[in-house]
Amino acid sequence: MTFKRKLLQALAATTLTGLAGAAQAHFQMLYLEETALQRAEKLEFALVFTHPFSGGPTMDMGTPRAFSHTSSHGEEKIDLRKYLRPVEWQSRDNRTTAYRASIPRELVRSLGDHIFVLEPEPYLETEEDVYIQQFAKLIVNVGGVPSNWAEPQGLPVEIQPLNKPYANWTGGVFRAVVLADGKPVPFAEVEIEYVNHYVDLEKNAFGQQDYVTAPQASFKAQSTYADAQGIVTIGLPRAGWWGIAALDIGATKTYKGKPLSQDAVLWVQARDMK
């Protein structure tokens, strides 16, 4: 079967289900100010379900099902849910429930990579009558020593990086593999969105000023497809945070009697050369 025919089939499936459309522009943020650390320090996370380019509207988050950390030394996964606390998050459009987490320095004291994974409660998108669940992943490095940044975490849906997510120059290219149950997903639909506002951790809010202005609505969320091996390649034209979401790739398709879109999200940070 040709690439064109497979891609057309993927597009047709998306049209029929409507699930990917329901998930468009929704991103489960797993935010830190910095992921490439010189030395271990306390980590201040913001967990916000939002539209990052527009700075809102933001959706209410239920209590996360799981929030975990795996270090570079092969230690067992550490449950971080005890560090979560609900907050009221102010977006540009509304105020909703999000979560913050203060992770002690002791948990990231070892050199190398530290992988953080969030499994949220499914969110009901009432306009489409569809549940959305986005498994989000973020990788922190301490001391510039690379280790397990590319290792899959055994999630139902996942984006496996082929480049270090924390060490990217502006204007570079980032590659990753879309996985479902550990296997590549050919021609998966992927969206990429830039965090286009200041994230104020003191006020639990997005800043009001746009970093960039989209010339037209389709520029707010970039869309592409993985190739036949499930590999997706994107550019990073501006410094800051980029979210990559592979849409509706999970094997579980229903929740509470309604359609479910299980998406995988990976967060990538780019920095300017100075």
Q: Provide the residue type at 242 as one letter.
A: W
Q: What is the pLDDT of residue 15?
A: 40
Calculate the dihedral angle through the C-alpha atoms of 42, 48, 50, 53, rounding to the nearest 10 degrees.
Answer: -10
71 φ/ψ angles, rounded to the nearest 5 degrees:
-95, 180
Structural domain count of the chain? 1
Q: What pTM value is reported for the model? A: 0.92
Q: In degrees to the nearest 10, what's the CA dihedral of 250, 163, 32, 182?
A: 20
Could you say which residues of the chain have pLDDT below 50? 1-23
pLDDT at position 25, please?
73
Domain with 66 in it? 3-271
Strands 258-271 and 254-255: antiparallel
Amino acid, res. 8: L
CATH code: domain of residue 167: 2.60.40.10
- pLDDT value at position 41? 97
